[in-house]
Structure 1
Amino acid sequence: MKRAGLEAILADMTISEKVGQLLQLAPMFYKGTLTEGEITGPMAEMGITQEVSERAGSVLGSATAAEMMAIQEEYLKTSRLGIPLIFMADVVHGYKTIFPIPLAIGATWDVALAERMADISAREATAAGLQVTFSPMVDLVRDPRWGRVMESTGEDSYLNSEMAASFVRGYQGDATKLAENHEKIAACVKHFAAYGAAEAGREYNTVDMSMRELYQHYLPAYEAAIQAGSKLVMTAFNVVDGVPATGNEWLMRDVLRKEMRFDGVLISDWGAVKEIVNHGTAGNAAEAAEQSLRASVDIEMMTTCYLENLEALIADGTVAVGLLDEAVMRILELKNDMGLFEDPYRGLKTNPERQKVILSAEHRAAAREIAADSMVLLKNEHAVLPLATEKRVALVGPLAKTQDVLGAWSWLGDTRDAVSVEDGMFAQFDTVDVAGAASTEHITEAEIAEMVRVAQNADVIVLALGEASNRSGEANSIATIRLPEAQYSMIDALHKIGKPVVTVLFNGRPLDLHGLLEKSDALLEAWFPGTEAGNAVADILSGKVNPNGKLPMSFPYTTGQIPVYYNHLSTGRPADAADAQEHYVSHYLDIPNQPLFDFGFGLSYTTFDYRHLTLSSDTISINQPLNISVTVKNTGNIAGKETVMLYIQDLVGKVSRPRKELKRFEKIMLAPNESQTVTFQITEEDLRYYKPNLDFSSDPGDFKITIGTHLEAKFCLV
């Protein structure tokens, strides 16, 4: 439909019909519902009538094509203007084929794999009738106590930005062709803004930071997703500079819409409009509605502040009808861009065969590959890994048999489809004896005794442990980032046997690994790997796949060290190695300053040598970029992937600058003894940063380059 057609629809709508388009409801409020679906978040008494549901504009959380087609068909029977519903849901790391959690996707450092995951997720979700996914979440995270770190791709704004753009491209493809490409889904970047900086890592908590910090580190990934074409943006639950994001006119109109030039649909998170009252910046639901509409929030998710108050606010002149018209037009444009006016079912009725792609062998194979590439080898003493498949393996621990390996926000995934570690190991190893536990939180003495008995007869112990999937994700903040205490008694008992211990760790956040790391000969960070978990773990342990993941988020030494992240500022009294005996420097008395495992850390079964760091010039300018080359050689005897990372430090700035900042990375595959020269190009724009007055510019002067563990060079911006 052309723009004139949308304008004609808008002109014909009553105020009541317009307000209805701004309301999003769950499937349970609609005729034709076949299942209620899983609904998360606080459910208020909404008082929704059939008449209201017949005016609402979108649906949250439908799960199947049959349900969505039934709801749409019934809805259109009563729609005076034939405006179809649009169906949205959280497809965060897969629909039915579940991929590793996004933090693990970040650990792949592979933007092509991120795009592939999003593409497959879109194919399955659209085959089931969904038209919008609330993904990607690109919040920068530095506090693993916050359960939603599992939804992010880590602590670095550049890595997050690259991943954000890849997710959007994978979901949407060419955003101008969504109407005709029914296998693509509209992306919704979230949560705008700075939600990942919740104080103390506590969900829904206050965020407080300087404007310069907000612009420098937290906003870039959102902007990258928007530049990649994301059709929607979701508001955050938190305040920004003391004002709730959902009612923050400066944040949404000035920053999001003007500075970032976002002209798509802005949707609140669940209940966030009404929660402005709880924040204390609105006295009642009417004021919350006014603030949100002025901030250009187009869709209110699962509360009724707009529904109950906008007509009166417009009638008494408090709110201009033009603000309502802007919001409705953006919603109509989204529906039009998705082709819903021409086909409200996006091909589901004409091509039901599309649903055969869901959980297909091809998609499972992709999930297995991505899961293996996301795993990070943190320790491998005496080269205990990879394991010879003829060795007798004792597979023990609470994650040995379970299919609870999908992770949070896999709400449409079925654990019955997941491959357990037990099944994955049976498929690749000759002799595997298994002893599990019924719970990650409570392990009985009898269960530990059985593990010990099995382990005593083995050549090597594979210990599968970690968190249950419901211990991370939304509203799952924890104060102490350790494993459940019951697991440490088990670890101690197995360590005493004296056999090599290979630990496979399942978790949704960085953890304090003390009590585990020193009692493991090898430690594999597996995250929550998804549907093909067990096969991917076995691929790594057997050496079928050489581990190549790198940490996208630092692992703290202990909880009290949080936040700890790689791109920190210098202090006036840094604790340098040369001043090891100096007391009056910035340090802890009881632990190191450095995290247990740094951002970017990850071992391989082979080794790589970095040499010949060369610069095309010793200067760079606005008109003259700089090419930086390094030669990487696989010095081991097996093929492997290596992520080459380029860091830069601005040695003198108008404000204190980070010790180093990631500026480029590239993942390469090298055969044994093979070398490859990797070349990065840096421009003057890469050296810009936000000054105290938020001027975004660079300073002439010296910069330091770091590649690998020891190669450094300097250049000058002139």
Structure 2
Amino acid sequence: MTVEEKLGQLQQLAGAWETGPGGNSTKNAVESAARAGRLGSVLSAFGARSTNALQRIAVEESRLGIPLLFGLDVIHGFWTTFPIPLAQAASFDPGVARTDAEVSAQEARANGVHWTFAPMADVTREPRWGRVAESCGEDPYLTAEFTAAKVAGYQGRDLRAKDRVAACAKHFVAYGGAEGGRDYNTVDVSEARLRNLYLPPFRAALDAGAATVMASFNTVGGVPAHGNAHALTEILKHQWGFDGFVVSDWNGVRELVAHGFAEDDAAAARLALTAGVDMEMVSTTLREHGERLLREGRIDAGRLDDAVARILRLKFTLGLFDDPYADEGAAVAGPVPATRRAARAAAARCMVLLKNERGTLPLRTSVGSIAVVGPFGDSGDLLGTWAVPAAAAKYPSVRVLDAVRRAAPGARVTYARGVATEGGDTRGIRAAVAAARAADVTVVVVGEPPALSGEAAARADIGLPGVQERLIEAVARTGRPFVVVLVNGRPLTVGGWLDSAPAVLEAWHPGVEAGNAIADVLFGKVDPGGRLPVSFPRAVGQIPVHYNHESTGRPYAAGVKYTSGYLDLPPDPQFAFGHGLSYTTFRIGAPRLSRASVPARALHAGDTVEVSATVTNTGAHAGDEVVQLYVHDVAASIARPVRELRGFERVTLAPGATRTVRFRLGARDLGFWTNDPGGVFRLEEGAFDLYVGNSSTATAKRRLTVT
């Protein structure tokens, strides 16, 4: 390969959508680069016919005929849109994420896509950050489990299979810690926090076989991730032995100049390649300056060859050299009944019952009249932030109003919008109140549109947008039964109206089968077994508020001033991590240990301790409970979190049924990374409190001693 051809493999350009401004000029530029052998990958182009046309240019007209790698943001569905990733984490069932990935991979690969920029492995404690919707929340253990499941679903056992795509764990690293919740912002973390909080999900992704990793936009300790050799090379490639490739984020290499880290594009190219970036997305600094930098000895020829080899290796693994084209006769044109059923089941499984007083839920299908009110009651825009644009245009979400009518065919169902999703117009509230007064029960569907979450969608105020709270309060004043359904992409502050609402169902942005899944839960066809993967703050001023915070020298004590708290609010969240109700009741017994003491050397050698507990359905209905195990290191050489999730299992039980749930704890569950340079993992002797219950506030515990 010539140097020009090598640099071409490192280049990824954006393809043209089928419609849109600049489409033709973008198409011409991509085709010219492919013909010249100066293009390795294309993103945001799909459709078997379209990708094949471009692939033929690269394979049949370039000198070496190296096939292109087509990538796309397939985040929570291709044609069949599943719930957003944050919602999927609420299921506490990694099988939900795996199913989404399997369906997405089959639909995407059939449409010429080889590679998805997912899963997002970022842990975040920042609900103002719009990309919390794309995350699995605030816990590294839960995020790691879901990240691994998503990778397995996308990639399967053989990337050559025509129903699999390569995964990309993003964003490496610590993007979820962006200051103020503002995208692309600074992150400053200690080595210990980097390794204990932010890195574990990425390690899980690699252990699951993730083919690629994407660098993040943020700085880490003052060094932009795209130029951070400690993260990309020392940790990822050397310590972890990652043999896949690192792709930049959109224009991320060129943005090293804006960071003040590189003086110009040539310096940005040199710094990014040297630090460990292998493929450049959209910006063209390596392609434009690479030959000169190589001649001048400012980039290393061996490093260039390493990057090219990593990219070519994935193309071989995907089977593109043997069969570079998609089968146009097998292209999937949209959701089918089976994938819709999977999306509907997933969405219902992700919903969290936050509150349910006086048996308001489930609703009776025999109810005489139902009012559906709120701006999202008759909305098809419940797909979520990362729905593929073509899918959103062709396959909007099922509307709640329509689904309620189908679920209760004998009921008189009326609709009143009440208010808009944003703005201050309250004139429609009168009609909504009239509808509520005339109905046996009212379903108030409120929240935030998908456009208010996702990338570049930070919010300083995370309450309900516009005057939706006033709609809830007006319905409450009627004195008639009602339930609030929240559709949103982030935790919301709900304190202003929560006391007046007898029942609140967190439905998230549920995807293409949104309305049907919401109706399934509202009418009790599906028991709400989801649990919160992220804390809901009482007010924005509490942020960050998360369950796995570190101990302080003066822990909060109610009524005691000189402790770590607020004068005007309790320090705990409105709804804690792991919280969620059911239509039945459960009793979880005290945890039992297989032994109360274990030598550290035995744990290092692979030994484990079993923690078990019984869970019983004490109610009158079948339902789901999520049994959760938390660990607290009582005393350590660095301050440890007051609790850390180290196991969970979602179980379905009939009335009166009992099951024993078992977890195993090893060295990785009880030890931690220190601040020592290069990373040192330590398992220290001492006491560990083990909590088992149905949320992070569990009180039943046993003590384990490590000797």
Aligned residues of 1:232 and 1:265 also touching (Cα < 8 A): yes
Indicate the residue corresponding to 1:585 in structure 2.
563
Q: Distance in 2 between matches of 1:45 and 1:277?
A: 24
Deviates more, 1:697-706 or 1:92-101: 697-706
Q: Distance in 2 between matches of 1:183 and 1:434?
A: 42
Flag the 1:338–1:47 CA change in 2: closer, same or farther, 3 A: closer
Task: Give, as a single letter, the amino acid of the residue that structure 1 aligns with 2:76.
Answer: H
Indicate the residue corresponding to 1:363 in structure 2.
339
Indicate the residue corresponding to 1:673 in structure 2.
656
Gaps of 5+ in 2: none
Deviation for aligned residue 1:76: 2.7
> Would you say 1:538 and 2:519 are equivalent positions?
yes
SS of match in other structure, 1:600: coil
Indicate the residue corresponding to 1:403 in structure 2.
380
TM-score of the two chains, using structure 2 as the length reference: 0.95
Indicate the residue corresponding to 1:375 in structure 2.
351
Q: What RMSD over aligned residues (CA atoms) do the two structures have, in Å?
A: 1.8
Deviation for aligned residue 1:270: 0.1
Deviation for aligned residue 1:314: 0.7
Aligned match of 2:688 in 693, 698, 703? 703
Deviation for aligned residue 1:47: 11
SS of match in other structure, 2:51: helix
Q: Where in structure 1 do 4 or more consecutive aligned residues deviate above 6 Å?
A: 44-47
Deviation for aligned residue 1:79: 1.2
Aligned match of 1:386 in 330, 341, 362? 362
Indicate the residue corresponding to 1:148 in structure 2.
131
Aligned match of 1:137 in 98, 103, 120? 120
Deviation for aligned residue 1:318: 1.4
Deviation for aligned residue 1:444: 3.5
SS of match in other structure, 2:415: strand
Q: Distance in 2 between matches of 1:164 and 1:539?
A: 27
Aligned residues of 2:426 and 2:467 also touching (Cα < 8 A): no
Indicate the residue corresponding to 1:553 in structure 2.
534
SS of match in other structure, 1:382: coil
Task: Give, as a single letter, the amino acid of the residue that structure 2 aligns with 1:561.
Answer: Q
Superposition pairs of residues 316-715 of structure 1, within 5 angstroms: 316-346=296-326, 348-349=327-328, 352-355=329-332, 358-391=334-367, 392-412=369-389, 413-414=391-392, 416-429=395-408, 430-431=410-411, 432-436=413-417, 439-442=420-423, 444-576=425-557, 580-621=558-599, 622-623=601-602, 624-693=607-676, 694-708=679-693, 709-715=698-704
TM-score of the two chains, using structure 1 as the length reference: 0.93
Superposition pairs of residues 174-193 of structure 1, within 5 angstroms: 174=157, 177-179=158-160, 181-193=161-173
Aligned residues of 1:705 and 1:712 also touching (Cα < 8 A): yes
Task: Give, as a single letter, the amino acid of the residue that structure 2 aligns with 1:715.
Answer: L
> Would you say 1:99 and 2:76 are equivalent positions?
no
Aligned residues of 2:10 and 2:278 also touching (Cα < 8 A): yes
Q: Distance in 2 between matches of 1:662 and 1:489?
A: 37
Aligned residues of 1:27 and 1:36 also touching (Cα < 8 A): no
> Would you say 1:120 and 2:117 are equivalent positions?
no
Indicate the residue corresponding to 1:3 in structure 2.
none
Deviates more, 1:406-415 or 1:297-306: 406-415
Indicate the residue corresponding to 1:4 in structure 2.
none
Q: Distance in 2 between matches of 1:274 and 1:382?
A: 58
> Would you say 1:26 and 2:3 are equivalent positions?
no
Q: Distance in 1 between matches of 2:687 and 2:502?
A: 43
Deviation for aligned residue 1:407: 0.8
Aligned match of 2:222 in 242, 248, 253? 242
Aligned residues of 2:591 and 2:691 also touching (Cα < 8 A): no
Indicate the residue corresponding to 2:243 in structure 1.
263
Deviates more, 1:679-688 or 1:529-538: 679-688
Deviation for aligned residue 1:51: 3.9
Flag the 1:589–1:330 CA change in 2: closer, same or farther, 3 A: same
Q: Distance in 1 between matches of 2:47 and 2:281?
A: 20
Aligned residues of 1:91 and 1:135 also touching (Cα < 8 A): yes
Residue-by-residue CA offset, 1:549-574 (whole Å, 9 max, x unaligned): 00000001100000010011111111
Flag the 1:539–1:313 CA change in 2: closer, same or farther, 3 A: same
Q: Distance in 1 between matches of 2:419 and 2:474?
A: 18
Q: Distance in 2 between matches of 1:45 and 1:206?
A: 32
SS of match in other structure, 2:241: coil
Task: Give, as a single letter, the amino acid of the residue that structure 2 aligns with 1:591.
Answer: L
Task: Give, as a single letter, the amino acid of the residue that structure 1 aligns with 2:356.
Answer: N
Task: Give, as a single letter, the amino acid of the residue that structure 2 aligns with 1:603.
Answer: L
Task: Give, as a single letter, the amino acid of the residue that structure 2 aligns with 1:261.
Answer: G
Deviation for aligned residue 1:38: 11
> Would you say 1:717 and 2:691 are equivalent positions?
no
Gaps of 5+ in 1: 1-12
Deviation for aligned residue 1:437: 5.3
Q: Distance in 1 between matches of 2:645 and 2:423?
A: 41
Indicate the residue corresponding to 2:195 in structure 1.
215
Q: Distance in 1 between matches of 2:545 and 2:42?
A: 40
Q: Distance in 2 between matches of 1:53 and 1:433?
A: 56
Aligned residues of 1:101 and 1:151 also touching (Cα < 8 A): yes
Q: Distance in 2 between matches of 1:94 and 1:336?
A: 26
Task: Give, as a single letter, the amino acid of the residue that structure 2 aligns with 1:327.
Answer: A
Deviation for aligned residue 1:53: 4.3
> Would you say 1:15 and 2:8 are equivalent positions?
no
Q: Percent identity?
A: 45
Residue-by-residue CA offset, 1:580-614 (whole Å, 9 max, x unaligned): 33211111000001000000000000011012532
Flag the 1:679–1:34 CA change in 2: closer, same or farther, 3 A: closer
> Would you say 1:312 and 2:292 are equivalent positions?
yes
Deviation for aligned residue 1:705: 0.9
Task: Give, as a single letter, the amino acid of the residue that structure 1 aligns with 2:381.
Answer: D
Residue-by-residue CA offset, 1:116-161 (whole Å, 9 max, x unaligned): 1111111111111100000000100101000000000010000011
Aligned residues of 1:38 and 1:411 also touching (Cα < 8 A): no
Q: Distance in 1 between matches of 2:150 and 2:420?
A: 34
Flag the 1:209–1:669 CA change in 2: closer, same or farther, 3 A: same
Q: Distance in 1 between matches of 2:88 and 2:586?
A: 23
Q: Distance in 2 between matches of 1:57 and 1:691?
A: 40
Aligned residues of 1:406 and 1:529 also touching (Cα < 8 A): yes
Indicate the residue corresponding to 2:61 in structure 1.
78
Task: Give, as a single letter, the amino acid of the residue that structure 2 aligns with 1:686.
Answer: D
Aligned residues of 1:37 and 1:62 also touching (Cα < 8 A): no
Task: Give, as a single letter, the amino acid of the residue that structure 1 aligns with 2:495.
Answer: H
Aligned match of 1:281 in 240, 247, 261? 261
Deviation for aligned residue 1:241: 1.4
